[in-house]
């Protein structure tokens, strides 16, 4: 029908002037003769387009290098948009967590305790003396601190306390070892820390005896690793978390003493968003 009305207007336009009339007359006769063919051609083109539409994406040119290479696949066609998604394959399969593990180089030494209002923080006098080695990188022990109840949960359940051993490498990257504390026999290292802990916010107290940093670790140092963030503002990401499987104990009174002084200081758990929990094997080297 669209074709017909087009021809109507062509015919109407042909009604002016003599010379033009002849020319238009020729055009008209040509077009009139061609009309059925053009109509059939139109139908054919329409069907061709309909039947080939689904395979349109597969006809977009792509290659393994240059402007149509893998880094640009997502821009070559709307049908390729998913190439820019966050869960593409293939990926690099790493076995670092299992093979390299985490090595602890901790020594008992001189430490002090800071009450910063959010937690009690046990800091070594010498920041280069203790370290862990993760994937061949040395992360120096900066401080440990406490959370009650635990921040990480086990199958949805909090335990009474969690200790964070914060380490940093020479490039400013952080690796934090998380250790769960459950109620049980008194903890000697925690007793040493509490004995020097100032009750006033902003104050620091020295631990008199050598602080048993090594003694704070459980015997089995296996666990899981994942990439996360700090758990206090600014909650910066890029933190390598090393969560130990085995718990240590503290007396119920030791745990409640901390909560009475500082209050509950656990951030709620955050969405995992598909992050991988990689098992590792840890060991004390000295």
Taking the least distance from each CB to Zn ion, the nearer of 24 and 115 is 115
Taking the least distance from each CB to Zn ion, the nearer of 179 and 196 is 179
Q: Which of 118, 145, 152, 164 is catalytic?
A: 118
Which range, of 104-112, 136-144, 158-166, 206-214, touches Zn ion by CB under 5 A?
158-166
Q: How far is the CB of 57 from Zn ion (least distance, A)?
A: 49
Taking the least distance from each CB to Zn ion, the nearer of 164 and 167 is 164
Span 123-152, contacts to Zn ion by CB under 5 A:
none
Q: How far is the CB of 164 from Zn ion (least distance, A)?
A: 4
Taking the least distance from each CB to Zn ion, the nearer of 112 and 148 is 148
Which range, of 81-89, 107-115, 162-170, 201-209, touches Zn ion by CB under 5 A?
162-170
Q: How far is the CB of 265 from Zn ion (least distance, A)?
A: 8
Q: 166, 239 in Cβ contact below 8 A?
A: no
Span 1-40, contacts to Zn ion by CB under 5 A:
none
How would DSSP label each residue in the chain? Answer: -HHHHHHHHHHHHTTS-HHHHHHHHHHHHHHHHHHHHHHHHHHHHHHHHHHHGGGTGGGS---SSGGGSGGGHHHH-GGGGGGGSSS-S------HHHHT-EEEE---B-EEEEE-SS-EEEEES-TTS-EEEETTEEEEEEEEEEESS-SS-BTTB--SEEEEEEEE-TTS-EEEEEEEEEESSPPHHHHHHHHH--SSTT-EEE-SSPB-TGGGS-S---EEEEEEE-SSTT--EEEEEEEESS-EEE-HHHHHHHHHHH----PPP---TT---EEE-EEE--
Site for Zn ion contains 167 (CB under 5 A): no
Q: 110, 125 in Cβ contact below 8 A?
A: yes
Binding mask 194-223 for Zn ion (x = CB under 5 A): ------------------------------
Q: Quick check: is 145 catalytic?
A: no
Q: 141, 121 in Cβ contact below 8 A?
A: no
Size of residue set near Zn ion by CB under 5 A:
1
Site for Zn ion contains 164 (CB under 5 A): yes
Q: How far is the CB of 129 from Zn ion (least distance, A)?
A: 21
- 198: burial class by Cβ within 10 Å (0-12, 13-18, 19+)? middle
Q: How far is the CB of 286 from Zn ion (least distance, A)?
A: 25
Q: How far is the CB of 152 from Zn ion (least distance, A)?
A: 10
Taking the least distance from each CB to Zn ion, the nearer of 165 and 211 is 165
Which range, of 156-164, 199-207, 209-217, 271-279, touches Zn ion by CB under 5 A?
156-164
Taking the least distance from each CB to Zn ion, the nearer of 24 and 164 is 164
Q: In the bound complex, which residue of the shown chain has the CB atom lying closest to Zn ion?
A: 164
Which range, of 83-91, 164-172, 198-206, 272-280, touches Zn ion by CB under 5 A?
164-172
Q: How far apart are CA 240 and CA 151, in angstroms?
A: 16
Residues that bind Zn ion in the complex, under the rule CB under 5 A: 164
Residues with a catalytic annotation lie at 118
């Amino acid at each position: 029908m669209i074709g017909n009305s087009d021809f109507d207007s062509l015919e109407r336009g042909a009604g002016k002037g003599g010379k033009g009339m002849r020319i238009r007359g020729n055009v008209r006769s040509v077009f009139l003769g061609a009309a059925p063919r053009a109509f059939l051609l139109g139908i054919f083109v329409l069907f061709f387009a309909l039947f080939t539409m689904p395979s349109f994406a597969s006809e977009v040119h792509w290659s393994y290098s240059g402007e149509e290479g893998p880094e640009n696949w997502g821009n070559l066609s709307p049908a390729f948009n998913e190439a820019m998604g966050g869960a593409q394959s293939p990926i690099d399969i790493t076995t670092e967590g299992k093979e390299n593990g985490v090595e602890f180089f901790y020594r008992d030494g001189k430490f002090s305790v800071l009450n910063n209002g959010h937690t009690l923080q046990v800091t070594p006098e010498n920041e280069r003396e203790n370290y862990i080695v993760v994937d061949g990188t040395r992360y120096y022990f900066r401080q440990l601190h406490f959370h009650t109840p635990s921040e990480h949960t086990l199958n949805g359940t909090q335990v009474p306390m969690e200790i964070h051993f914060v380490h940093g490498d020479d490039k400013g990257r952080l690796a934090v070892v998380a250790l769960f504390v459950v109620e049980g026999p008194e903890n000697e290292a925690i007793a040493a820390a509490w004995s020097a802990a100032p009750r006033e916010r902003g104050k620091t107290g020295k631990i008199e005896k050598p602080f048993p940093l090594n003694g704070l670790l459980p015997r089995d140092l296996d666990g899981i690793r994942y990439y996360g963030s700090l758990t206090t503002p600014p909650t910066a990401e890029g933190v390598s978390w090393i969560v130990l499987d085995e718990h240590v104990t503290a007396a119920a009174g030791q745990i409640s003493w901390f909560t009475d002084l500082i209050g509950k200081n656990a951030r709620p758990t955050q969405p995992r968003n598909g992050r991988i929990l990689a098992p590792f094997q840890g060991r004390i080297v000295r």
